[in-house]
C-alpha cells in the first residue's frame, strides 16, 4: 500500500499515512487537534481544513458546508477527505482549540484534609526478629502488626509480595514499609518497600470530563496539591459530546480507540506533572477518576452502548477497584484506580463527587448543585435525602447548535451590552471575534429581550428598524459583530432559530429544577445555597441567567460558584477513605428522577419556554 | 562456546549442550531422570552413569565412590562430570526410577461428597431484561441474583468480565453462567460464559510430595474422580530430600529451577489427564495443592531458606488464593489455585489435609495420623484438641543412608524371612534384587533380632557362625543377596551402621509419638485408631514395625492404612468449601511441638534406641 506524507500547519508536523486514510486520521496520528462535533459523520462542519499543497481525494459530499470561494481555496472536511497524495494542510483557528480556558481551579484547592486517611496508605513496620519463642512465619509476623494498624484482619496479599517478603525482611533488618489499600471490605497489600519510605506517597485526582481532562498531583502525606494540568479530551476526534462518541464506539469505530484516547490524555497529564516535580510515574500509587457515567465507561473500557438506548442502562454504576495498569495508565504497576460511583446513566460520578465535595449530604439545610453542559445535571438535598436528575439541555450552552456558537476560548464573545442600537462586546483574550460562547449567548438573549428586540416568546420584532436586524426568507438574524471586525471575515450573528434553541435549553434546565423541588414538595424559598459547578458555570453571569429564566429567582448571594467540584471530590477521595465511602453512600442513596418518563416535567418544560417564564410570579425580580 | 551432543541410553535421547555443562544438566535438558540424593554435591553417589563413547572431563573427585573396575568401565558421577566431547551415556538401572510404585490410591477414592459445594461454583443466571421500571445497570442486574445465590454481598469482579458483560447479556438473551469462587470472606467472579454451562466443571487435586507428584482430575459436578496420574518429582535433580533442595535453592542454584521443576510436573500430569478425557486444560477451573511446608513454598515460588535455619521460620503458613497461571500452571487463565495451609515449618498442608480427610478433628475418640518419610509427621487429637510434631527420621525408611538402600521400586527387596541360616526374600516386581527398600529394612531388622543375629542394641553377634555374616576391619555386615543373584553383580548387604541408623530412625518416630501422648497426658491405650498414611506407610508390615519398636504395641486392628490422604484431603477441598475451611481451622488450632527444643523428647529418644525399647513394658507382645 502506498504511503503519503501529510504536513499540518501552523503546527508544522508531518506524518506518513497509508493511502486512503482520512485527514482526520492523519491529524490524530500527528497529535494535531481538529474539532469534531458529529463523530466523523461529515455533517457538523467543525473539522474544516484547507489543503495548501497537493491534490485531495473525493470531497464532493461536503460542498454544501462551504462557500464556493472556500471550495476554490481548497477547504475540505478532514473527516471525509482521503489522502491520495503528499499534502500540506492548514488547520484554521476555528477548527482547533486552545487549552487556555480549561477549568483547573476549584473551591477548596488549598484545603488540607483534617485527618488524612488516604485510599492508599504506607505503614512502616519495624518487626521483632524471630526467635525460638516466637517463630511464627514471616507473613504472620508482618500481618499481626499490620492488621492491628489497619483495624481489619482481612489482608489480600499478591503472590509477588509474598515471594519477596523473606529476603526483604532479612536484608533490611526486619524494617519494611507496606503500602496497603482498602478494597470494599478487604484490605490488600500493594507493595512492600525496604526500610521506612513513609515520607513520600503520591496520587493523582482526575476529572474525566467530556470536553476536558484535568489531573491534579497530590501529596498524600501532607494533602497538598502539588500541581494541576488540563487538556482537551482526545476523544473529541470521535465526537464532541457523549452521544456522538457512543455512536462512534458502538458502530464500526469500536470502543477501543475512544477508550485509548482518554488513557493517552491521562498518561500525558501524569507524565507532565511528574516531570515538573521530579517524580517517576512509578511514584504514584493511586488515581481517583470522576466523570459522567459514559466517560467512566470509556475510561474503564466498559461497553457504553445501552446507555443511550431506552431504558438507558449502563454496564455498571459502581466500578471495581482496579490496578491502573489494567487499562494502560502508567503509574506504579500495582497502583490502584478507583472511579467515583455513578447514580444512573445520566447522573455520574462527577456529580456524586461534587455533591460530596460541596458537603450537601452532611447538613440540615437544603442545597442544590447544578452542572450545566450538554446535559444539565441537578442534585438537591440535605443530610436526610437527596434527589437528582439530568435534563437534556442540548449543545447550545457549549457553543453547539447555534450558527456562530463556539466553545469558551480565545475569540469567543463572552460579554455583550445593547443600548438601543448601540452594541458593545468583549471577547475572551480580547482577540478578534470568531463566534459566541455560552455565557455570551445568555447575555445576548437577555440584552435582546431587555431591548425588546425579541419578545418574551423569543421571536424577533420584525418591524424594528435596526441595521443589525436582517431578515432573509422571513428568517431574522441579528448581527453581533460585522464581517470587517471578525477573524473569519464573516458576520457573527444570532438567528431566531438560535434564540429558540437557547430558550429550549434554558427551559429544560429550569423545568428540571422545578420538577425536582415539586417532587419533594419544596418551594424555591427553601433553597439555602445554590452551587454552580463546572466549566460553563464558572463563566455564568448570575443576574442574566436568572433574567432569562435559566436559574431560579433567588437572592444572588445564595448562588456560589464552586468550579471543578468533580476534581475536588476526586482529590478528597484520594485523601480520605471516608470521603470515598461517602461517595458510595451518596451514589446509592440518591433518588434519580428519569425526566423522560416523568409526566410533570413535560408541563414544566412547556411553561418554561418563555422569557423568563410563563408564570411571572416565579421571577418577581425580572421585568422585560 | 562449543556445543556437544550427549546421547542417553537406554532412553536413546540426544541433546546438545554447551561445553562445560554437567551430565546432570544435560540429562535434565533431555528429560532423562537420574537419581540424586545430595543435590549435586558429588557425595551421595546416586547419579552414577557409564560413559560408553567419548571422552569425559575431569572426574577425579569421584573416584572414591567407585571400584577400580567401575572406573575402567567409564563410570562417573553425572553431577560432577563436565561435557567436553560428544558423548554416549548409559544410565544404569540403579541410577534411575520407574513410576510403577507411585502411590496414587487413597482411602475414600470413590467417595462422592454428600453436598458438593466446590471451591469454584458455576451459577446459571436467567435474568429479566431491563425495562423502564427496572433499569438497574447490567452488573447490578446480575449481582442482585448472584449475591443471593452465594449468600454474600461482596463480589469482586475482574475488569475484563465487566467489560464483556453488556455484550454477553444481550447476545445471549440475558442467559449467562457465572463461575465464582470464595476468597476468604469475599467472593469473586472468575468468568462469565454465555448461556447455561453448569453441566461441566472440572478441577485437579494435587499431592505435591517430595518424592512424587500425584494429580487427580475431578468432576466438580458429580464429585467423581475421573482419573489419576503420578510422576516422580522433577525436583529430585536438585536433591532427593527437602533439605538438599533448600541448600540448592538458597545457594548458587537459586529458587527458580526448583520452582519450575514441580510446575513442569504438574503441567504434564494435568495435560495427560485432560488428553485422556478429551478436555482442554482451559476446562479446569481450580486446583488444590497439598504438600509439606517446604514443597508448598517451592510450588508457589516462596523463599524457603529460613525453614532449615533455627528458629525454623517459613515465609507463610497460610497461603493466598492465586490464579494458577501466576505460577505458570496451565489451566483456565482465571482458574484458581488454593494451597492447603500448614501448621509450621515441618508440619505441612499434606498432614493438615490428611487430618481433615481422616476425620480425626470431628470425633470424640482420640486418633493418630502418622506419615513416615525422611520426617515422621505425627498428629494426635479429636474434635476438641489436636497436637502434632515432626520427627527427623533420616533417610533410612526411604532407602537412603544405608549401603544398599533404595526407594520402593522394581528390584527392591521388600520382604525377608530368616530361619537359622536360611534366608528367603521377595523383591518388588520379582526382578533380580538391586537393593533393599524401607519395608525390607524393617523386616530385616526384625528377622535379625528374632534370630539373635543382632542383639537388642543392634550390634551383630560377632561370634556367630554364619556364611552371610562378614566382618571386615571389625565392621560386620550381613549378606541378604549374593553377588550372583543380583542385578549389579555385587552383594546386597546390611551393615551394622545401617542397623544403627535404622534404630535411630525408628527411635525418633516412636519417641515423637510417646512425647506427644505424654504432653497431653494420655497413654497408648487411649488411642482409638492409628492411621498410617503416605507412600512408605502403604507398604509397612504392621506386626514387624511394632516388633522393632517403630509403632506402639497396640492391637493390630487399630492400625489403618489410609494411603495418600494428602491427595484425598486436597480433593475434598476441591469439592467442598467447608472442607477447605476445616483445613484452615485445623492448621491454625493444632498445637505444634518443636521436638528440637522439647526437653522430654531427648530422654524418650535415648530410651527408644533399643529393640523394641529399653522399657519392655511398653511392648508386652514383643519378645526377642
Would you call B300 an interface residue with chain A, using a CB distance cutoff of 8 Å?
Answer: yes
pLDDT of residue B100: 47
Contact call for B137 and A322, based on CB within 8 A: no
Shortest distance between the Cα of B352 and any Cα of chain A, in A, equals 17
So what's the pLDDT on residue A64? 64
Question: Which has the closest alpha carbon to B368: B586, B527, B580?
Answer: B527
| Largest interatomic CA distance in chain B | 102
Determine whether the interchain pair B139/A316 forms a contact, defined as Cβ–Cβ distance below 8 Å. yes
Calculate what percentage of chain B has a pLDDT beyond 90: 69
Q: Coil, helix or strand for A286?
A: strand
Over residues B303-318, the pLDDT tens digits come to 999 999 989 999 999 9
Mean pLDDT across A327-340? 97
The residue with cell 457538523 is A44
Q: How far apart are CA B141 and CA B157, in angstroms?
A: 14
Question: What distance in Å separates residue B143's CA from the closest CA in chain A?
Answer: 11
Choose between B565 and A71: higher pLDDT.
B565
Residue B337 Cα, gap to closest chain A Cα (Å)? 12
Q: Which pLDDT score is estimated for A109?
A: 47
Strands B322-323 and A527-533: unpaired
Q: Work out whether strand B322-323 and strand B336-339 pair parallel, antiparallel, or are unpaired.
A: antiparallel
The Cα B188–Cα B182 span in angstroms is 6
Q: B479: pLDDT confidence band, cut at 50, 70 and 90?
A: very high
B138 shares contact with chain A (CB less than 8 Å): yes
Question: pLDDT higher for A586 or B394?
Answer: A586
**At residue B168, does pLDDT exceed 90?**
yes
Within 8 A of B131 by CB-CB distance, chain A residues are 311
The answer to whether B484 contacts chain A (CB < 8 Å) is no
Residue A57: what pLDDT?
64
H/E run at residue B509:
helix B496-520
The three three-digit cell numbers of residue B75, written as one number: 563410570
B478: enclosing H helix or E strand? strand B475-481
Q: pLDDT value at position A60? A: 55
Confidence of residue A114 (pLDDT cuts 50, 70, 90): very low
Instruction: Classify residue A268 by burial, with Cβ atoms within 10 Å: 0-12, 13-18, 19+.
Output: middle
| Sheet with strand B469-472: strands edge to edge | B469-472, B475-481, B492-495
Contact B300 A184 (CB under 8 A): no
pLDDT beyond 80 at B97: no
Count interface pairs A-B at CB distance under 8 A. Answer: 148
Q: Give contacts of B 340-399 with A, CB under 8 A.
A: 344-345
Backbone angles phi, psi at B66, to 5 degrees: -125, 155
What is the CA B341 to chain-centroid distance, rounded? Answer: 15
Quick: pLDDT tens for A506-545. 999 999 999 999 999 999 999 999 999 987 766 789 999 9
Shortest Cα distance, chain B CAs vs residue A587, angstroms = 13
Read off the pLDDT of each residue in A296-310 and give the average, rounded to a whole number. Answer: 96
* Cell output for A372: 450545566
CB B294 within 8 A of CB B304: yes
pLDDT at A111 over 60: no
**Whole-number Å distance between alpha carbons of B287 and B216:** 10
Q: Is the pLDDT of residue B530 over 70?
A: yes
B401 vs A225 pLDDT, higher one: A225
Q: Do B313 and A135 touch (CB under 8 A)?
A: yes
Tens of pLDDT along B565-599?
A: 999 999 999 999 999 999 999 999 999 999 988 99
pLDDT band at B153 (very low <50, low <70, confident <90, very high): confident
Of all residues in chain A, what percent are helix, strand and coil, respectively (each to 5)? 35, 25, 40
- Could you read off the pLDDT of A8-55 as tens digits, one per residue? 988 888 999 999 899 988 988 887 878 776 767 777 777 888 898 888
**What sections of B531-598 are H helices per DSSP?**
534-537, 542-547, 565-575, 577-589
pLDDT in tens, A211-224: 889 999 999 998 88
Cβ contacts of B311 on chain A, cutoff 8 Å: 130-132, 135
Strands A13-18 and A3-9: antiparallel
Q: Which residues of B touch A320 (CB under 8 A)?
A: 156-159, 162
State the average pLDDT over residues B475-491.
91
Residue A375 and residue A389 in contact, taking contact as beta carbons nearer than 8 Å? no
pLDDT of residue B122: 95
Kind and range of the H or E element at A215?
Answer: strand A212-219
User: Quick count: other Cβ atoms within 10 Å of Cβ B100?
Assistant: 11
* B135 Cβ under 8 Å from any chain A Cβ: yes
What is the overall mean pLDDT for chain B?
90
Residue among B140, B184, B313 minimizing CB distance to A137: B313
Instruction: Please tell me which residue, B102 or A160, carries the higher pLDDT value.
Output: A160
Q: Which residues, 6+ apart, have CB-to-CB distance to A133 below 8 Å?
A: none
Determine the topology of domain A3-95 in CATH: Ubiquitin-like (UB roll) (3.10.20)
Q: CB–CB of A301 and B594 under 8 A?
A: no
pLDDT at B58 over 60: no
Cα–Cα distance for residue pair A499/A396, rounded to 1 Å? 10
C-alpha cell at A147: 492488621
**Among B151, B180, B150, CA closest to B285:** B180
- Selecting from B186, B313, B326 the residue whose C-beta is nearest the C-beta of A186 gives B186
Condensed to tens digits (0 to 9), the pLDDT of residues A465-504 reads 999 999 988 889 999 999 999 888 889 999 999 999 999 9
For residue B62, pLDDT beyond 90: no
pLDDT at residue A145 is higher than 70: yes
Position A112 pLDDT exceeds 50: no
Average pLDDT, stretch B392-402? 81
Q: Which residues of A touch B167 (CB under 8 A)?
A: 303
Q: Does B598 touch chain A (CB under 8 A)?
A: no
List CB contacts of A230: < 8 A, sequence separation 6 or more. Answer: A99, A102, A103, A104, A212, A213, A214, A215, A269
**pLDDT over 70, % of chain B:** 94
B184 and A154 Cβ atoms separated by less than 8 Å? yes
Element (H, E) at A472: strand A469-472
Reported as a pLDDT band with limits 50, 70 and 90, residue A58 is: low
Distance CA A270, CA A258 (A): 19
Whether B3-95 and B120-194 share one fold: the answer is yes
For residues A580 and A341, the answer to whether their CB atoms sit within 8 Å is no
Q: B185 in contact with A at a CB cutoff of 8 Å? A: yes
Phi, psi of A591 (to 5 degrees): -85, 120
Name the residue ranges covered by the structural domains of chain A: 3-95, 120-194, 202-339
What is the mean pLDDT of the segment spanning A294-318?
96
Query: How far is it, in rounded angstroms, from Cα B298 to Cα B235?
Result: 10
Report pLDDT digits (tens) over A394-417: 888 877 778 888 887 788 999 999
Asked if B320 and A159 come within 8 Å (Cβ–Cβ), the reply is yes
Say yes or no to pLDDT of B114 above 50: no
Asked if B466 is an interface residue toward chain A (Cβ–Cβ < 8 A), one would say no
Confidence of residue B57 (pLDDT cuts 50, 70, 90): low
Give the bridge partners for A495, in sequence order.
A477
- Residue A585, classed as helix, strand or coil, is helix
In CATH, which of 3.40.50.300, 2.60.40.10, 3.40.50.2300, 3.10.20.880 is domain A120-194? 3.10.20.880
- pLDDT surpasses 50 at A110: no
Confidence check: pLDDT of A98 > 80: no
Range A239-253 burial, b when 16+ CB lie within 10 A, else e = bbbbbbbbbbbbeeb
**Distance in angstroms (rounded) separating the CA atoms of residues B1 and A589:** 71
Nine cell digits for residue B524: 497408648
Q: Residue B104's pLDDT band (boundaries 50, 70, 90)?
A: low
Distance of alpha carbon A147 from its chain centroid, rounded? Answer: 39
Cβ of residue A316 closer than 8 Å to a chain B Cβ:
yes
Statement: residue A332 has pLDDT above 90 = yes
CATH class (in words) of the domain with range B202-339: alpha beta
* Alpha carbon of A542: minimum distance to chain B alpha carbons (Å): 36
pLDDT value for B517: 96
The answer to which of A527-541, B30-44, B529-543 has the lowest mean pLDDT is B30-44
Phi-psi map region of B12: left, alpha, beta (phi>0 left; psi -120 to 50 alpha): left
This model of the complex carries an ipTM of 0.84
- pLDDT score of B489: 85
Q: Give the per-residue pLDDT at A312.
A: 92
Tell me which residue has cell 476526586: A570
Amino acid at each position: 500500500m502506498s504511503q503519503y506524507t501529510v504536513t499540518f500547519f501552523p503546527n508544522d508536523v508531518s506524518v506518513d499515512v497509508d493511502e486512503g486514510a482520512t485527514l482526520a486520521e492523519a491529524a490524530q496520528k500527528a497529535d494535531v487537534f481538529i474539532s469534531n462535533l458529529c463523530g466523523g459523520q461529515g455533517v457538523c462542519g467543525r473539522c474544516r481544513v484547507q489543503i495548501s499543497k497537493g491534490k485531495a481525494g473525493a470531497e464532493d459530499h461536503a460542498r454544501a458546508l462551504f462557500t464556493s470561494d472556500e471550495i476554490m481555496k481548497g477547504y475540505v472536511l478532514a473527516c471525509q477527505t482521503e489522502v491520495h497524495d503528499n499534502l500540506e494542510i492548514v488547520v484554521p483557528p476555528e477548527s482547533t482549540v486552545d487549552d487556555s480556558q480549561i477549568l483547573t481551579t476549584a473551591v477548596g484547592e488549598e484545603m488540607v484534609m483534617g485527618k488524612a486517611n488516604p485510599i492508599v496508605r504506607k505503614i512502616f513496620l519495624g518487626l521483632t526478629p524471630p526467635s525460638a519463642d516466637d517463630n511464627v512465619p514471616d507473613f504472620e509476623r508482618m500481618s499481626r502488626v499490620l492488621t492491628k494498624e489497619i483495624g481489619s484482619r482481612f489482608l489480600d496479599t499478591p503472590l509477588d509480595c509474598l515471594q519477596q517478603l523473606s529476603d526483604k525482611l532479612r536484608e533490611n533488618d526486619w524494617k519494611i514499609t507496606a503500602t496497603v489499600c482498602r478494597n470494599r471490605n478487604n484490605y490488600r497489600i500493594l507493595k512492600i518497600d525496604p526500610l521506612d519510605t513513609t515520607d513520600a506517597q503520591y496520587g493523582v485526582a482526575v476529572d474525566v470530563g467530556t470536553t476536558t481532562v484535568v489531573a491534579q498531583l497530590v501529596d498524600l502525606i501532607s494533602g497538598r496539591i502539588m500541581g494541576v494540568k488540563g487538556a482537551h479530551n482526545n476523544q473529541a476526534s470521535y465526537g464532541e459530546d457523549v452521544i456522538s462518541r457512543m455512536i462512534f464506539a458502538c458502530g464500526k469505530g469500536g470502543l477501543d480507540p475512544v477508550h485509548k484516547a482518554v488513557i493517552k490524555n491521562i498518561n500525558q497529564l501524569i507524565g507532565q506533572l511528574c516531570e515538573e516535580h521530579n517524580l517517576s510515574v512509578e511514584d504514584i500509587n493511586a488515581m481517583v477518576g470522576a466523570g459522567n457515567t459514559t466517560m467512566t465507561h470509556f475510561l474503564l473500557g466498559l461497553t457504553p452502548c445501552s446507555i443511550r438506548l431506552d431504558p438507558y442502562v449502563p454496564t455498571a454504576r459502581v466500578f471495581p477497584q482496579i490496578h491502573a495498569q489494567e487499562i494502560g495508565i502508567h503509574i506504579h504497576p500495582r497502583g490502584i484506580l478507583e472511579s467515583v460511583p455513578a447514580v444512573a446513566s445520566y447522573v455520574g460520578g462527577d456529580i456524586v463527587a461534587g455533591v460530596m465535595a460541596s458537603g450537601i449530604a452532611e447538613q440540615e439545610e437544603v442545597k442544590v448543585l447544578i452542572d450545566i453542559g450538554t446535559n444539565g445535571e441537578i442534585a438537591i438535598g440535605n443530610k436526610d435525602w437527596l434527589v437528582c436528575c439530568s435534563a437534556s439541555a442540548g449543545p447550545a450552552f457549549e457553543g453547539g447548535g447555534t450558527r456562530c456558537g463556539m466553545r469558551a476560548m480565545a475569540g469567543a464573545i463572552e460579554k455583550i451590552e445593547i443600548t438601543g442600537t448601540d452594541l458593545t462586546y468583549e471577547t475572551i483574550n480580547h482577540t478578534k471575534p470568531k463566534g459566541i460562547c455560552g455565557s455570551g449567548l445568555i447575555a445576548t438573549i437577555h440584552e435582546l429581550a431587555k431591548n425588546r428586540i425579541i419578545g418574551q416568546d423569543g421571536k424577533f420584532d420584525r418591524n424594528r428598524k435596526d441595521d443589525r436586524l436582517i431578515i432573509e426568507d422571513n428568517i431574522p438574524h441579528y448581527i453581533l459583530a460585522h464581517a470587517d471586525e471578525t477573524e473569519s471575515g464573516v458576520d457573527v450573528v444570532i438567528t431566531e432559530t438560535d434564540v429558540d434553541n437557547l430558550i429550549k435549553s434554558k427551559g429544560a434546565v429550569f423545568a428540571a429544577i422545578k420538577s425536582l423541588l415539586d417532587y419533594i414538595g419544596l418551594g424555591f424559598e427553601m433553597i439555602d445555597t445554590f452551587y454552580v459547578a463546572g466549566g460553563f458555570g464558572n463563566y455564568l453571569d448570575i443576574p442574566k441567567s436568572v433574567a432569562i429564566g435559566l436559574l431560579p429567582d433567588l437572592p444572588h448571594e445564595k448562588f456560589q460558584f464552586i468550579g471543578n467540584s468533580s476534581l475536588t471530590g476526586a482529590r478528597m477521595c484520594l485523601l480520605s477513605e471516608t470521603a470515598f465511602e461517602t461517595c458510595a453512600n451518596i451514589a446509592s442513596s440518591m433518588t434519580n428522577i428519569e425526566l423522560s418518563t416523568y409526566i410533570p416535567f413535560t408541563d414544566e418544560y412547556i411553561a418554561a419556554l418563555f422569557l423568563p417564564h410563563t408564570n411571572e410570579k416565579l421571577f418577581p425580580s425580572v421585568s422585560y
